[in-house]
Chains A and B, each alone.
Chain A
Amino acid sequence: MSDAWFALHRETIIVIFVMAVITYGFRAGGYWLMGRVTLSSRVEAGLAYLPGAVITALVVPAALEAGVEGILGLVAVAITMRVKSNLLLAMVAGVATVWLLRNLT
């Protein structure tokens, strides 16, 4: 019991350190890099589209992976957001749609 909870291998410490450096490197690096480059106003205006583009890139393959249920789940999310701009409701509608379709078919 206590071993499963409190064991700490020296190797694990090294591996966690390496993972932490890589991960924080990306988190700090993206922010830092944006401060090092001088951008034309055209590029800067384009970068305003970065969050939307990244979120699109997170959504589309994930929905495709979830199949027809996933795509219909997104439709339910879209309808809910149109009727009432509420994140919790939209999430529940999407999850419920996927859950129902999975259990019906």
Chain B
Amino acid sequence: MNVTFTRAGVVTGFRSTLPLGLPVGAYGAVFGLLAQQAGVSALEATLLNLFVFAGAAQMAVLPYWEYPLPILVIATTTFLINLRLVLLTASLRPWLRRLPGRLVYPLLHNVSDESWSVAMMRYRLGERDAGVVLGCNLVIMVVWFPGTLLGFALGDRIPNPEQFGLDFAFTAVFGAMLFAGYRSKRDLGPWLASALAATLVWWLAPGTWYVVAGGIAGVATAILTADSSHHVNVPEPEVIE
């Protein structure tokens, strides 16, 4: 399979992730507001954005932001919430493995649930240009960074995203990616297994263990139910706007 990294790919990835700009920006503003209320300076919030770049974990640690900072609690929370990232980048390996590490490892730093889901579904539909991964990541970066500063500056004057149903935007996008990626009945077993495992673990365990459980249950089901005579169909490329 031919893997390239082109500017055209970056543009494609950027364009396909643009719909996520508004909800990601809105949540960036919420993070900025909460950070300000927790006594985190704009500079500190920006350093979190630059070096951690994981919105859910950044929000989750804010309630513990009292000096002296409880480093163990913050580390544990970060660990539990960001655990899922292992599976995201693991699944990028087949796509990026032919590229040099000096290109891939910096790219991995900005992988998020949203950009990854858009990129992966394009991969599933036949996309092989790794520039797409960067393009998808860039959208999230260019709205998240200014979004947090806007929220920080405006404080309580920013509207609550839930008021507009924007909290559902991410779920809607993940759902849309799933429907776009549906190929055949063979998908249903792994997806159902994942849904059951994820729901169960979501009730029982903290953090994002549920994402890990769903991913493992899905892959295990796919392996166990694999028909050895079955040939993997190479999907026809399809246009998603």
Name the residue in B91, B164, B191, B220 with the highest tally of chain A Cβ atoms < 10 Å from its Cβ: B91
In the complex the two chains form, is B179's CB within 8 Å of A59's CB? no
Task: Confirm or deny: B126 has a beta carbon within 8 angstroms of a beta carbon on chain A.
Answer: no
In angstroms, Cα B62 to Cα A19, docked, is 13
In angstroms, Cα B123 to Cα A86, docked, is 16
Name the contact of A3 in the complex, choosing from B41, B54, B191 (C-beta under 8 A).
B41
User: With A50-B215, A54-B211 in contact, is A4–B41 under 8 Å at CB?
Assistant: yes
Name the residue in A23, A85, A97 with the highest tally of chain B Cβ atoms < 10 Å from its Cβ: A23
Task: Confirm or deny: B31 has a beta carbon within 8 angstroms of a beta carbon on chain A.
Answer: no
User: With A49-B190, A57-B197 in contact, is A16–B44 under 8 Å at CB?
Assistant: yes
Task: Confirm or deny: A43 has a beta carbon within 8 angstroms of a beta carbon on chain B.
Answer: yes
Contacts of B91 in A (CB 8 A): 30, 47, 50-51, 54
A64-83 Cβ-contact flags toward B at 8 Å (1 or 0): 10100110011001101110
In the complex the two chains form, is A45's CB within 8 Å of B108's CB? no
Task: Confirm or deny: B241 has a beta carbon within 8 angstroms of a beta carbon on chain A.
Answer: yes
In the complex the two chains form, is B178's CB within 8 Å of A52's CB? yes
In the complex the two chains form, is A52's CB within 8 Å of B69's CB? no
Interface size grouping (class) on chain B: 35 or more
In angstroms, Cα B92 to Cα A52, docked, is 13
B95-110 Cβ-contact flags toward A at 8 Å (1 or 0): 0110000001100110
Summed over the interface, the residue pairs from A and B with CB atoms below 8 Å come to a total of 296
In the complex the two chains form, is A73's CB within 8 Å of B172's CB? yes
Contacts of A91 in B (CB 8 A): 19-20, 23, 169, 172-173, 176
In the complex the two chains form, is A7's CB within 8 Å of B223's CB? no
Q: Residue on A with the closest CB to B196?
A: A60
**Shortest CB–CB separation between residue B92 and chain A, in angstroms?**
6
User: With A55-B174, A102-B165 in contact, is A85–B53 under 8 Å at CB?
Assistant: no
In the complex the two chains form, is A27's CB within 8 Å of B42's CB? no
Contacts of B48 in A (CB 8 A): 16, 19
B156-193 Cβ-contact flags toward A at 8 Å (1 or 0): 00000000111111111111111111000001001101
In the complex the two chains form, is B87's CB within 8 Å of A30's CB? yes
A contacts with B: majority SS: helix
In angstroms, Cα B57 to Cα A88, docked, is 26
Within 8 A of A (CB), among B123-151: 123-124
Contacts of B1 in A (CB 8 A): none
In angstroms, Cα B93 to Cα A45, docked, is 14
In angstroms, Cα B223 to Cα A43, docked, is 6
In the complex the two chains form, is B168's CB within 8 Å of A95's CB? yes
In the complex the two chains form, is A94's CB within 8 Å of B86's CB? no
Query: Which A residues lie at the B interface, using CB under 8 A?
Result: 3-9, 11-20, 22-24, 26-31, 33-35, 42-43, 45-64, 66, 69-70, 73-74, 77-78, 80-82, 85-88, 90-91, 93-99, 102
Query: Which B residues lie at the A interface, using CB under 8 A?
Result: 16, 18-20, 23, 36, 40-44, 47-48, 51-54, 57, 61, 67-69, 71, 74-75, 78-79, 82-94, 96-97, 104-105, 108-109, 111, 113, 117-118, 120-121, 123-124, 152, 164-181, 187, 190-191, 193-195, 197-199, 202, 210-211, 213-223, 226, 228, 232, 238-241
Which 5 A-B pairs rank lowest in CB-CB distance, beginning with the nearest? A53-B218, A57-B214, A94-B172, A99-B165, A46-B223
